[in-house]
Amino acid sequence: MYENQKFGRGGGFGGGFNDRQQSPPVKEGEEIDVTIEAVGEKGDGIAKQKGFVLFVPNAKAGERVKIRITRVLAKVGFASVIGPATTQAGEEPQRSRAPRKEEPEFNPNEELDSEDFGEESKE
């Protein structure tokens, strides 16, 4: 029945996370906002991060939640709900940045201190 079907690389199933990617797009301990897309056979919520499937117990389809990644395998991951999502679907999370140090302005007309750190020339 399925003899002529190609599964895996180059098969009829496009998109999503696959073997060609070097590593999963999530790491253990990472916290992300996701939308639970469906509920699996065992009752776990199913979310995706860049095509990578995440199983989330105690989550319902359609919920938008913040999760913590608890385990990452080659093709799937597991996570737990830690609260409501802080971003809207499709919105990039705000990342905190360290304040930038003010750099002095460069003035090409200013006389610069210069020292010769090379070998002394013998004249």
Specify the pLDDT at position 98: 46
Amino acid letter, 95: R
Rounded to whole angstroms, the Cα distance separating 35 from 55 reads: 12
* Residue closest to 29 by CA, chosen among 75, 74, 90, 82: 82
Indicate the pTM of the whole model.
0.60
Query: Could you tell me if 87 and 33 are in contact, meaning their C-beta atoms sit under 8 angstroms apart?
Result: yes
Tens-digit pLDDT profile for residues 31-74: 999 999 999 999 999 999 999 999 999 999 999 999 999 999 99
Degrees to nearest 5, angle at CA 106 with 100 and 112: 125
Domain locations in the chain as residue ranges:
31-84
Q: What is the mean pLDDT of residues 1-6?
A: 49
- Cβ proximity of 40 and 55 under 8 Å: yes
Identify the CATH homologous superfamily for domain 31-84. Answer: Nucleic acid-binding proteins (2.40.50.140)
% of residues, the chain, pLDDT over 90:
51
